Amino acid sequence: MAVREHAFVSAQEAVRALATAVAAQLDTALKARPRASLVVSGGRSPIGFFHALREMPLDWARVRVSLADERWLPPQHPDSNAHLVAEHLLQGAAAAAQFVPLWNGAPSPAPAIAERQQALGVLPRPFDAVVLGMGEDGHTASLFPGAAGVEAALDPAGTDTLVAIDPPDAPYPRLSLTLAALLDSRQIYLPLNGARKQAVYRQARGECEPLRLPVAAVVCQAKVPVSVFLGP
């Protein structure tokens, strides 16, 4: 197993520790290479982390940022992950980072795949830091259990970077990084707050059945180190 767990007694402590760890990973990358790459997730959970990370003393102009997944919405929409990143991460000094969106204005995610895969080529690979989330159904990025195409997207030997996903029980079609793309990284971070999500995570680690709980594909692999930040 490549997983290392870190437990915290307060949400603020967990957020600060995660931001410190991600910033250190990016700083190490910038000392070794001209650019560093950061992939982040959306939803409401990362907001505190984004606020803490944007205050970190990094050479932000040399950092390239993108998303693990995107709801197929324009960046002005409040449910857009790009909107979340612009509003909460790319502020102050961090506004100097180059953001590469997944949404490109196509009518649906599938027609955008080829162009967006090419656009993501500006991010150094392997990605230096990938910060994922997890839903209570065990999805991570937009790799949802039961979604059409998710089995191929969970193939660790797959060659595609992106997959179009229409979640069976969540709003909006999505564009998501595949498992193979997520594992093309130097370090993965998985923050999990609350007993319910942590119970799902424990189940995923115990069963290691990605089609049932897709996050298992991340926490049951041994290729890439995964740091799990457990908050209250």
Domain chopping of the chain, boundaries: 3-231
What average pLDDT does the structure give for the chain? Answer: 97
pLDDT tens-digit profile of 57-82? 999 999 999 999 999 999 999 999 99
Q: How far apart are CA 79 and CA 81, in angstroms?
A: 6
Q: If one looks up domain 3-231 in CATH, what number appears?
A: 3.40.50.1360
Compute the CA torsion angle 221, 222, 225, 231 (nearest 10 deg): 50
pTM of the predicted model as reported, rounded to 2 decimal places: 0.97
Structure confidence by residue, pLDDT tens digits, 15-72: 999 999 999 999 999 999 999 999 999 988 899 999 999 999 999 999 999 999 999 9
Please give the helix or strand (H or E) that residue 115 lies within, else none: helix 113-119
Encode pLDDT of 161-203 as tens digits: 999 999 998 999 999 999 999 999 999 999 999 999 999 999 9
Rounded (10°) CA dihedral 67, 69, 52, 79: 120
Return left, alpha or beta for 212; rule: phi > 0 is left, psi -120 to 50 is alpha, else beta: alpha
